[in-house]
Structure 1
């Protein structure tokens, strides 16, 4: 497991705490691994999910640090979404 994935799990658990996130989501970070998110929080794993968001490590870190808006990253093609778009939007607002 990469340092980026480990950091992502920590940051996502902080951001999702109390957000009432329902469903399952997966962040696929190119060349680094995957992070699963559900009602219990975030963890390093690669499992089936309701929505999968894929980005390179630089874009993912920028989203986590609040420098890049997830919706803007999607619109510019830096973030791809496969699955439940409503759940992706719920996740984007929790990360903002």
Structure 2
């Protein structure tokens, strides 16, 4: 799945949620997905929380094949910034 397809999946979940924080999925050289002001973008920018992971793990995360808490504990996701924003991720993805 491409970053664009993942962003579209996230956007569908965002439209059904009350998530209002700013969050960045940083996939290194593959790019970023930003969520800010109820908008999803592939443009980089500042965010309250940054989640660093591979594109493969991001795809698993948005498709429900990877539990966010387990992924953090296993080192598949690195959290930077405000961890309380990352805790809201489950609600966003369940949308």
TM-score by length of 1: 0.88
Contact (CA 8 Å) 1:51, 1:87: kept in 2 or not? yes
Determine which of 14, 18, 25 is the counterpart of 1:16.
14
| Alignment pair present for 1:26 and 2:27 | no
Alignment pair present for 1:77 and 2:85: no
Q: Following TM superposition, by how much is the alpha carbon of 1:18 offset from its aligned partner in structure 2, in angstroms? A: 2.7
Aligned to 1:4: 2
Cα distance in 1 for residues equivalent to 2:16 and 2:36? 12
Which consecutive unaligned segments of at least 5 residues does structure 2 have? none
Matches within 5 A, 1:80-91: 80-91=78-89
Q: Which of the pair has the greater relative contact order for Cα pairs under 8 Å at 6+ separation?
A: 2
- Residue 45 of structure 1 deviates from its aligned partner by 1.1
Which secondary structure state, in structure 2, belongs to the residue aligned with residue 27 of structure 1?
strand
CA distance in 1 between partners of 2:46 and 2:37 (Å): 15
Q: Any unmatched runs of 5+ in structure 1? A: none
Structure with a larger share of its residues in strand: 1
Normalization by structure 2: what TM-score?
0.89
Please give the alpha-carbon distance, in whole angstroms, between the structure 2 residues aligned to 1:89 and 1:41.
19
* DSSP 3-state at the match of 2:88: helix
Q: How many residues align?
A: 94
Question: 1:51 — aligned with what?
Answer: 49
Runs of 4+ in structure 1 off by over 6 angstroms are none
